[in-house]
Homo-oligomer: A and B are copies of this chain.
Amino acid sequence: MPDNPEANDRPVIAVSDSPPAWLPEAISAGGCQVGPLADADGYVHLTGPASLPHLPARVRWVQLPAAGIETYLADGRLDDRRVWTSAAGAYSETVAEHAVGLLLAGVRGLVVAAGLRTWRGKAVADTVSGLADTTIAVVGAGGIGRRVVEMLAPYRATVIAVNRSGRDVPGADRTVAAADLDELWDQVDHVVIAAPQTSHTVRLIDAAVLARLRPRTWIVNVARGGLIDTDALVDALAGGRIAGAALDVTDPEPLPDGHPLWTTPGVLITPHAANPRAGLEAALADRVRDNATRFASGRDLIGRIDLTAGY
C-alpha cells in the first residue's frame, strides 16, 4: 500500500541529472511527483541547451532555468509540441536592484572613486552628477524593467519606459513603443537596458544611437551583452561621447582578458553577477513550485515562452 494514496494521480515531472535537493522538494511542494523521463508529463531542466535530453511526446511542459532563452532558440531546441517556460521574472528583484546600483555608481562618480589611493576631492566631485532633473529610459518593461521603474520613482527624474506595445507602464512618466524608440535617443540622459535579446533587439545600441546620446549619459545593461554593439561602445567611451557604461553582461561573454572594455575609462563590469547563486536557487525553486502547482491544476504557467516573439 503506498504511503500516499493520491500519489498516483499527481503529474510526473522528470528532472536534470544529479538534481540539487531543493528541486524535488519544490516539485513535491507544487503537488507533482518526481519520476523518470519515460513516464513524465513535465520536465525541469537546470543546465544549458546542449544538455537538453530527447523529450518523449508525452512531456507537455518544460521549465528552463534562465530568464533569457535566446541560446536555446538559436540551437533550435524549442519545439512547438509542448509548452516551454523560462524563468523570466523570477530574478527581477535582484537584477533590478543591481541595475539601479550600477546606474547610481556611474552618475555618482563611484567608478572613479573606487580606484583612489589619495584624496582627490575635486577630481571625483567633477565626475559626480545626480539623477534629479534627468530623463532615464528603461528599455524593456518585463519584470526587471517594471521594478527598475519603481525603484527610480523617488529620484525626481523623468522615467520613460519602453515596451513592445507602448501600453502605459505603471509608475513611468511616459511609455514609448519599441517601434518609436528612434525618437527617444535625443531626449534621454541615461539608459537602462532590461529587454530580452531577440532578432529585433540585437545591437539595439549601435554607433548611430551612441552618436545621439549626451556626454553625461550612462548606459546600464543587465539584460544581454548582444543588445549593445561592443566595438561602437568602446569607440564612444574612448572618444568621451558618453560618460560611461555599467555592464553586468557583455558581448563577447565571458569578456576575454585584454579586451579594451576592461581598461576603457568609464566602464564598470560586474561579470554576470546581478543574480548571485544563493538567491538564484531560491528564486528558481519558488518558480518551479509555483509552476508545478499550476501544471497540476491545469492553470496557465508563468513565463510561458512565445516561440514567435523569441522570449
Contact = CB atoms under 8 A, between A and B. Distances in A.
B113 A104 contact: no
Interface stretch (A15-23, A124-132, A180-188, A226-234): A124-132
A268 interface: yes
A114 B116 contact: no
Interface in A58-114: 93-94, 97-98, 100-102, 104-105, 107-111, 113-114
Interface in A255-280: 255-257, 262-263, 268-274, 276-277, 279
This protein's copies in its complex: 2
15 contacts: A97-B104, A97-B131, A97-B155, A98-B108, A98-B128, A101-B104, A101-B105, A104-B104, A104-B105, A113-B270, A119-B254, A119-B257, A119-B271, A128-B273, A154-B154
Contact of A276 (B115, B119, B126, B147): B126
A55 interface: no
A113 B156 contact: no
A114 B117 contact: no
A231 to B, nearest CB: 18
A39 interface: no
Given A104-B101, A110-B101, A117-B257, A94 B279 contact: no
Given A94-B132, A98-B128, A132-B94, A255 B119 contact: yes
A302 to B, nearest CB: 19
A98 B124 CA distance: 13
A120 interface: yes
A155 to B, nearest CB: 7
Interface string A272-309: 11101101000000000000000000000000000000
Contact of A271 (B93, B113, B131): B113
Given A97-B130, A129-B276, A270 B108 contact: yes
Interface string A145-167: 00100110111100000000000
A121 B273 contact: yes
Given A101-B108, A113-B270, 13 more contacts: A93-B130, A97-B104, A97-B155, A101-B110, A105-B105, A109-B270, A110-B114, A114-B268, A119-B253, A121-B254, A125-B272, A128-B270, A128-B276
Contacts of A8: none
A124 B262 contact: no
A118 interface: yes
A97 B115 CA distance: 21
